[in-house]
Structure 1
């Protein structure tokens, strides 16, 4: 009976999507009988109100969606520049409503345009002319993107359009950089880019474009024809004081057959070259492969980084090799290789004082750390892609090797010690995807993902700490924590899509397996140099096997104004884990139905509303169930005493996107709410020297609410782009500390404003400000309230003083207020002068950063009922002389 009811519901939903709207079809032709493209077609009622609207396709055909057929006597009106307006009355909705347009001359008032940027729109693509927004001092296309209304570039290089992160950055239509596009925006000269295209509803798979259900947004850099004929690039040599260097060599080519951006760089001026290797949509990739595993179980317990741009606080000596090459065998077949290696040496020094407020006590500790950090990253990725109308093949092979070492001298509550952390992650994977379009227009899809990961870790601490807990109160020489966590994983499925006009039904079935072994041991070294286990309870030999068999039905409906998608994934989950050394053996079987629904309604040609809902059951991983205690860092002992964590999440969301492209005005607003129910909670036993965490079986409820609104406008008269935004987020959750279960309420409200202005032909000015308020409080009587406020302002002035001589001045101001602490105020300033030797294609540049020579930075951090203050050592004044040769 239940199965029959479910089938009936799915049938009714599918029927609703197909039959809820009835189309009126027709063709608009010119006097010669040829179809006219992009004609505005409106359906008006007897009183002249617009009931529906659309545009004609390249053949002149149109399709008007109506909710009922009571439209006899209504008018269809067609308008287009260069033609006289034409309208007809509807006599029979079943007949083709054809209109013939007569050519006409339109006399326009004479308009003089001076340096007025413009946008052009073609369907889902918006075109920014690069030259309209670029200035003489802009070197790369990334410099120009920041000035384009509707486009936002974050400090880490992530690009968003009208509030939505881009899914890809294409170079002349090709995905050369595979989501690690920072090297492209930093290296490609703005003068080589003819226009920047914003592609809404981006669908990279050709066979799927006819019935496109994608909501992704991508950027495409259209390269000028003359820039495709030669290898371009630049070489930079820089030296400075105290003992600073900055070197860079970049070469790039963008012709039809071969595209590459190859780069070698190194510096010790606080600019992390590894930022070029950031994958901005990594979370989307991890969701797709569905391979959850802990990234690392051990740490040094470092305080993180201060709330400053990285170039203000980073002590580094780093180099990166970054090679990105794409070869096209033909229009449909290409091979891409992305190979990179990062070597970095960093230093970090700070003092920290932390307090946690409980009902009857305050837990506090102070610490000092002097860290030497050595991260390395080697990545080799090879991609073979065939993208034709009839079939699609994508094979992606990735090798990642990331050795990581930290050496640290530290003290906690005036007790000094040393630690060394070694982590060595090796990750090998292959992702295969093949689609085939049948003669019926239906599509079959085969997918397979294989992965092998090894994650050995070791933490060595000397002398031994917390002897009362770890060595029966006797002094000892040190601790050694060892962990190994090898993982095998595979995910495989086959799907079949039935295509019927704008209605697509996709059915998928597959299975995945994950096998892991967590092996950990905690040893102590006694004063006589002997090594022994701290106890049998600090050993893990946990075998984990997780399997999932799943089936999924997806229903997508697309029309000119409306999109809807319903997903019904059903999965059978089986987890078996055992650890004989901890007398642990468990078997879990769960059947989950995780439905989701989304709609998109086009309220106008450029505006739309979206809404979504999802319900998700999820299970924890191997790091939720190990019983043996692990020394996570020198002040944290972690263990579990609960079954696998199970979560049930309800999520709701809605958004409104509005734009007037020709007026260069963009606006977006969104709201999201989620509620999560968990069957476990982390219990913390805190003291002034150490925290011990145990996961316990206790119901836990988390609620999250967020709102955001952002606007961007180009002011033609002022030749300026202005941006405004506001965000609000609230979280409610429980926290268990020293036996006290406390409900917490955390709120954050932030505002931002910015302007990119051309004050004169020789002067540009930019200003950005962010003001944020964070409030944390336990929902009990007489609870301590922690409130944090911060204002951050950044401004820069670019001046052409003489011909080919450019001066740049910039400043950054930070103000921080916390009720129980003194106010913090900082003003950083930089100056830079550049001379361009045009004939030699060389720039000579001299700059000074941190003119005020600030060498110490204080920061405040709050979370729940904790307040942390930190003092960081940062680089002082740095002077650099650079020469950059362009070729």
Structure 2
């Protein structure tokens, strides 16, 4: 490993050496003002481009050359609005001062009528929403779906050229903190002047000079008239059978105060909780390094069908979502994000499952009728100071989430009832301070403190699996109790040495995680007596994890190359004990987890990336408890292994291509990972119950993936077309009923979409996704499964007469799986809208699920199991709504 690190560092310094002989200069206009983003090319005597660069905000450029032999070389500078400039190179050491003259030549795109265009300035690409919107589009989210290069997923997550955005800014301000769905749904498309795609987004001002960020963000630039007053809308809707849909939104976007405040409620299958989705939460939690377990108990529900949520959700939900930002001055602001969600859901399904093992087939049937009551309360307060010389960010968050599920179920013709109560309270404060010194070096202080409690309680009546849990005697019920309180803190200090294009950062810190896992499993006998199931169903586990770490990071950046290597070294100490289960152990580990990333700009718009990482990870408290826990009514879990460890090699590469002026975007990425684990889950399956024990056994998980996407605006058809391809393959081991075997899973998917203007009054959209999944277990007489699914969605939007709009939409699902009959579904919807412009009100009548489909069958295949499920879904719903805009 030491030799590898030395080689990687030498590679990095060799890149720096390539830029030791640059041709430098500065470009200004006739008035002496620096010109930014000028394309500067270095050409040889034959006119071949040797290298290129772009000017920074000070008009400065630097072009690297390999030697001093520049006879006949020229510099050519070009920029929109200026005449092309050419000058000969006579002296490499000379700094060239170039003056560009304004050009009055009109660009060709200006003379073309009704033709959308994009403009680019530095790392920012500008879309005009008016180029892509039509009269039926209400919010900016409706228009984003039509813009080439931008993709909006069903859950509202936005990607640009294959990369998820890190933030959605509103006039440059981070109002919504990654929960941006409410912004894309609420901000009127007519209020947005430009949608800016910011590549290499760096929100911290002092870090922009040597910017190593690879993030992509969107900024909504609002029209001046949209900043002058409060705007919003109010919706009232009623329908059959017994449906309602209400919404009130108010927005203000001026220089001092910005807010989007919303109250909504409905029972038509639209989950208002989607507005609270944090799209980059997993990346954020990974940075915190606080790997506490999620909820340990469940009701054993069969999940949800492979349909859009609005097709299957029975709900009655309300949400208050308040987002307010106040700016004290240009560099200091306070933001408050407050929300409360209350939801009542119902779910009903039947399921049949079979698992195929050598010489036996494990099968069970079950049905459930669930009443689910999730609630979420969140209060977040953020103080942010962001100036050229300092950065201060303090973020306080309180999350409270009570959750209750009541269900009646039947498993293998045995009926029972269960109630699950979960209550999570999470309080945290994150402090981050950076200071730039006179030397341009930067000091950084960071502290994170978190307290979490998450009690859980599962009650089941009558008692099940008496042969395992009550010596074969019938009994009244089971009660499983669990508490996992957690304290966690992470603190570090770092110092960055800045030297032109090269930055060295050295960090040192520590984190501490203290937890307890208390659990008991009780049974109630027929005489009402309550007792422990056994001494093996109790946990009283104390856990203390301490980590001391240091990190050396070296980064190099110029106009064409960004390269970085990180060498984090850590000492990990874990101590845990449980007197009841005679457990008293500790673990000491030193880890080096190197990470290398490269980004090379092959041209002004295109770049390639490559990365490699090696990571050591340790398991958590839920990996080592010895007492048995009743996870759900048919699952008993325990552990009999040391702390799980994984060692993962990951290598990836990508290529991003775009021709912004031609509105063509393409990206391709490939990734391979190999994870070695020291433990494996051993499952003992029967027709009524599964038992899991974690055992010490080395095994691997290997994964290969490839993804490609393209998007193009076809000017002749006034349409945005998109296409995509994906491939993934994974191999892993499984231990069931003492039988160890390897599994292979492979999936290929294709997608194709179009957003088209068929005529002045007809728009058409179409999206198709086709996937093929193959699974196979490497055992004798194994069943090889093949699963194919095609999903097609189409909408026809027609302007019938003045201010009257008709929408017809359909969704078709076709599923083919080996050994099973094909499944076919066709959903259709209709909507008609009248815009009463005089009173700024839309009147809308719609019918969803015209065919009145009330049940949905789904089949799930793996390498050695088959699960079929029937879900009950809402039938036909008719709604009448009125929306008033102000």
> Would you say same fold, with TM above 0.5?
yes
Task: Report the CA distance between 1:305 and its aligned residue.
Answer: 0.3
Q: What count of residue pairs does the alignment treat as equivalent?
A: 885
Task: State the distance in 2 between where 1:35 and 1:424 align.
Answer: 59
1:18 aligns with 2:16: yes
Give runs of aligned pairs for residues 102-117 of structure 1, distance below 5 A: 106=105, 112-117=111-116
Q: Tell me which residue corresponds to 2:463.
A: 464
Are positions 1:296 and 2:272 aligned together?
Answer: no
**Partners in 1 of 2:81 and 2:183 — Cα distance?**
41
Match of residue 674 from structure 2: 675
Q: Which residue of 1 aligns with 2:791?
A: 792
Distance 1:447 1:93 in 2: 44
Deviations 1:804-838 (A, max 9, x none): 11111100000001111110000000001111111
- 1:645-680 deviation line (CA, Å, top 9, x unaligned): 000000000110000111110000000000000000
Taking structure 1 as reference, are residues 545 and 49 closer, same or farther at Cα in structure 2, changes over 3 Å only? same
Match of 2:573 in 1: 574
For residues 477 and 696 of structure 1, the distance between their equivalents in structure 2, rounded to whole angstroms, comes to 33
Distance 1:861 1:844 in 2: 42
1:454 corresponding residue in structure 2: 453
Describe the SS at the equivalent of 1:627: coil
Give 1:290 shift.
1.0
Report the Cα distance in structure 2 between the residues aligned to 1:470 and 1:110, rounded to whole angstroms. 77
Q: Superposition pairs for residues 644-793 of structure 1, below 5 Å?
A: 644-793=643-792
- Tell me if the contact between 1:87 and 1:99 (Cα under 8 Å) persists in the aligned partners: no
Secondary structure, aligned partner of 2:179 = coil
Residues 685-719 of structure 1, C-alpha deviations (whole Å, 9 max, x = no match): 01111100000000010100000000000011111
5 Å matches for 1:58-457?
58-80=57-79, 85-99=84-98, 101=100, 106=105, 112-457=111-456
Which SS does the other structure have where 2:95 is aligned? Answer: coil
Matched position secondary structure for 2:697:
coil
**SS of the counterpart of 1:697?**
strand
Q: How does 1:578-597 map to 2 (within 5 A)?
A: 578-597=577-596
Seen in structure 2, the aligned counterparts of structure 1 residues 519 and 796 have a Cα distance that, compared at 3 Å, is: same
Mapped to 2, the partners of 1:33 and 1:162 lie a distance apart of 37
Distance in 2 between the 1:565 and 1:342 partners? 42
Q: Give the direction of change, closer, same or farther, for the CA distance of 1:476–1:105 in structure 2 (3 Å limit).
A: closer
Deviation at 1:66, TM superposition (A): 2.3
Q: Could you tell me how far apart the structure 2 residues matched to 1:783 and 1:873 are?
A: 33
Task: Tell me how far 1:39 sits from its aligned partner.
Answer: 3.3
Q: Distance in 1 between matches of 2:106 and 2:147?
A: 32
Does the alignment pair 1:858 with 2:864? no
Q: Is the 1:72–1:93 contact (alpha carbons within 8 Å) kept by the matching residues of 2? A: no
Q: 1:662 is paired with a residue of what secondary structure?
A: helix
Q: Secondary structure at the match of 2:838?
A: coil
Which structure 1 segments of 5+ residues have no match? none
CA–CA distance in structure 1, aligned partners of residues 687 and 818 of structure 2: 24
Q: Tell me, what secondary structure is at the counterpart of 1:131?
A: helix
1:113-153 superposed Cα distances (whole Å, 9 cap, x missing partner): 22111111110001111111111000111000000000000
Contact 2:858 2:869 in 1 (8 A): yes
Q: How many Å separate the matches in 1 of 2:858 and 2:720? A: 32
Change (3 A) 1:267 1:84: closer
TM-score by length of 1: 0.98
String of CA shifts for 1:236-259, please: whole Å, max 9, x gaps.
111100000001111110011001
Q: C-alpha displacement at 1:83, in angstroms?
A: 5.5
2:555 pairs with 1:543 = no
Structure 2 alignment gaps of length 5 or more: none
8 Å Cα contact 1:72-1:92 kept in structure 2: no
Residues 81, 326 of structure 1: CA spacing in aligned structure 2 closer, same or farther, 3 A cutoff? closer
**Paired residues for 1:618-657 under 5 Å:** 618-657=617-656
Task: Give 1:284 deviation, angstroms.
Answer: 1.5
Residue in structure 1 matched with residue 615 of structure 2 by the alignment: 616
Equivalents in 2 of 1:490, 1:448: separation in Å? 7
Distance (Å, rounded) in 2 between the aligned partners of 1:875 and 1:278: 24
- Report if aligned partners of 2:45, 2:71 keep a CA contact under 8 Å in 1: no
Shift of 1:79: 3.5
**Partners in 1 of 2:521 and 2:281 — Cα distance?**
33
Partner of residue 813, structure 2: 814
In 2: Cα distance, 1:536 partner to 1:764 partner = 68
Indicate how the Cα distance of structure 1 residues 676 and 110 shifts in structure 2: closer, same or farther if over 3 A, else same. Answer: closer
How far apart are the structure 2 equivalents of 1:31 and 1:354?
Answer: 77
Residues 572 and 591, structure 1, Cα contact 8 Å, conserved in 2:
yes
Cα deviation for residue 878 of structure 1 reads: 0.4
Q: Deviations over 1:694-752 (max 9, x none)?
A: 00000010100000000000011111000100010000000000111110100010000
* Counterpart Cα distance in 2 of 1:781 and 1:103: 77
SS at match of 1:679: strand
1:788 to 1:104, Cα distance in 2 relative to 1, 3 A = closer
Q: Deviations over 1:93-126 (max 9, x none)?
A: 2222444556676587797422111111110001
- Match of residue 564 from structure 1: 563
2:314–2:346 CA contact under 8 A, matched in 1:
yes
Q: Structure 1: how far apart are the matches of 2:451 and 2:336?
A: 21
2:801 corresponds to which residue?
Answer: 802
Q: Deviation at 1:33? A: 6.4
Could you tell me how far 1:20 is from its partner in structure 2?
Answer: 2.8
SS across alignment from 1:581: coil
Structure 2: distance between partners of 1:367 and 1:211: 59
Task: Tell me by how many angstroms 1:11 deviates.
Answer: 6.8
Partner SS state of residue 851, structure 1: coil
- Is the 1:786–1:867 contact (alpha carbons within 8 Å) kept by the matching residues of 2? no
Please say if residues 41 and 78 of structure 1, whose CA atoms lie closer than 8 Å, have aligned partners that are also in contact: yes
Please name the residue that 2:504 is paired with.
505
CA–CA distance in 2 between the matches of 1:110 and 1:471?
80
Asked if 2 retains the 8 angstrom alpha-carbon contact of 1:522 and 1:533, the reply is: yes
Q: Name whichever of 251-260 and 47-56 sits farther off.
A: 47-56
Partner deviation per Cα, 1:272-294 (whole Å, 9 max, x = no partner)? 01010000000111012111111
Describe the shift of the 1:104–1:405 C-alpha distance in structure 2 as closer, same or farther (beyond 3 A): closer
Deviates more, 1:859-868 or 1:304-313: 859-868
Structure 1 residues 102 and 119: alpha-carbon distance in aligned structure 2, compared to 1, 3 A threshold: closer
Judged with a 3 Å threshold, the aligned counterparts in structure 2 of structure 1 residues 63 and 824 are, in CA distance, closer, same or farther, namely: same
- Tell me, in whole angstroms, the C-alpha distance in 2 between the residues paired with 1:471 and 1:125: 67
Q: Distance in 2 between matches of 1:719 and 1:62?
A: 38
Q: Distance in 2 between the 1:256 and 1:207 partners?
A: 22
Shift of 1:851: 0.3
Is contact 1:201-1:212 (8 Å) kept?
yes
Aligned to 2:834: 835
State how far apart, in whole Å, the 1-side matches of 2:711 and 2:327 are: 38
Residues 317-367 of structure 1 show CA distances to partners (whole Å, capped at 9, x for unaligned) of: 000010000000111110000000000000000000011111211111110
Q: CA deviation at 1:37?
A: 4.3
Relative distance call for 1:591 and 1:92 in structure 2 (3 A) is same
> What secondary structure is seen at the aligned counterpart in 2 of 1:587?
strand
Q: Distance in 2 between matches of 1:34 and 1:851?
A: 64
- Distance, in Å, in 2 between the alignment partners of 1:714 and 1:191 is 21
| 8 Å CA contact 2:845, 2:881 repeated in 1 | yes
